[in-house]
Structure 1
Amino acid sequence: MTSTHLNLLRRQLRKRRHQLNRYQQRQAEQACWQKLLYMPQFQHAQHIGVYLNAFGEIATRQIIMTCFKQHKRVYLPLICEMNQHLHWQPITAQQYLQRRFSRHRLGMQQAMAHRAAGIQQLDLLIMPLLACDSTGMRLGMGGGYYDRSLSQAPQHPFRLALAHDFQVLQQSLPQQPWDQAVDALLSPRQLRYFHQRRP
């Protein structure tokens, strides 16, 4: 797959994601949330990194609220402009419910920077994507933030990608030396583990 084909795939997937209506988004969120509850990696995790959906990704509100109810620590990604890595800002339920966030220039909401943690402090990282192939290779939005951050902690945390079913590809994605695969993929219709990191 050439870079031209990859860019075309990104545009097609972004467009399809944006075309989902509220009902379809709610159904997808509910299905993923219900599967997540039974994952050992979620049940045992105490420090969970998760994104705020902003571009048609699987919504994470139910996941975040469940974390708070189960007294798990929630961390949101924060882009460090100096090195373009992600840091992880812990938030409280009050901060989340009051939407005390700032808007990043790329369009997503971020928690206010305070005492951000390194990615190695997370037990579970719940990640967005544009596509994932049958080997666990992830296609992101193109900024490389997750890849750069995960390269610092190759064995920790457990990497779980959330995807709509149409984002799960049959063909293989091209791999670059810096690309970081996920450990598992969760979509409304399936939960798939990759590599050897099964529960």
Structure 2
Amino acid sequence: MNLFELRKQLRKQRRQLSSFRQKQAQQRVLNILRTLPEFHTSKSVGLYLHAFGEIHTQALIEYCFKMAKQVYLPVICNMNQQLVWVEISKYQYRNKRFAHHRLGMREPVATRGLPVSKLELLIMPLLACDTVGTRIGMGGGYYDRTLASAPRRPFRLGLAHDFQLTHQPLQREAWDQPLDALITPSLLRRFKR
């Protein structure tokens, strides 16, 4: 299966998940995240707002607030097509104070954000991940571009449904940024850098 077909198939599978299965997956992922030492030691956590069938992040974001972590969400910088990270408050999150981006996701409203190197933990969405940590995203390359130019990289943690972990090796391009670890509803997998 080529990359285009794989992306198409996985997008379709994600969209077909019921809200019950999504909530169940989110809770299981949170339970595993709670055991992760890198989560406990990180004060600044970059997350995403789910929009396209990814693992839902509402419970994770709320848990970060409960644990007094600084929560950052990505904003696409139009000048260089990289992501910057904007801290959000519990009030802003709960009152859904976000703008809609033309690509279909929500973003915090801000004039300036921090570079990814200021984060200690980066929790990333994905479409597919293989057994060595190669991550395939939605195809825009935003996370890869952002991480490739960072002088210091945070711990990179992918979140995925179980069917998104493939045992078929994915082709890793020179610009692809591999994951340090992956959490699915049934496992935590660490990768060698």
Aligned to 1:172: 169
**Is 1:184 equivalent to 2:189 in the alignment?**
no
Aligned to 1:153: 150
Which consecutive unaligned segments of at least 5 residues does structure 2 have?
none
Q: Taking every aligned residue pair, what percent have the same amino acid on both sides?
A: 53
The residue type equivalent to 1:51 in the other structure is: Y
Aligned to 1:11: 8
C-alpha distance in structure 1 between counterparts of 2:111 and 2:97, whole Å = 13
C-alpha distance in structure 2 between counterparts of 1:99 and 1:185, whole Å = 28
Q: Secondary structure at the match of 2:27?
A: helix
Which consecutive unaligned segments of at least 5 residues does structure 1 have?
none
Aligned to 1:141: 138
RMSD: 1.0
Aligned length: 193
TM superposition score normalised by structure 2: 0.98
Aligned to 2:18: 21
TM superposition score normalised by structure 1: 0.95
User: Superposition pairs for residues 1-199 of structure 1, below 5 Å?
Assistant: 5-153=2-150, 155-196=152-193
Q: CA deviation at 1:155?
A: 4.6
Q: Secondary structure at the match of 2:166?
A: coil
C-alpha distance in structure 2 between counterparts of 1:29 and 1:189, whole Å = 11
Contact kept, 8 Å, 1:79 with 1:86, in 2: the verdict is yes
Q: Secondary structure at the match of 2:71?
A: strand
List per-residue Cα deviations over 1:1-55 (Å, max 9, x = no partner): 7xxx100100000000000001100110000000001100001100000000000
Q: CA deviation at 1:153?
A: 2.4
Moved beyond 4 Å, runs of 4+: none
List per-residue Cα deviations over 1:157-178 (Å, max 9, x = no partner): 0000000000000001111110
Contact kept, 8 Å, 1:89 with 1:114, in 2: the verdict is no
Q: CA deviation at 1:154?
A: 6.3
Q: CA deviation at 1:70?
A: 1.2
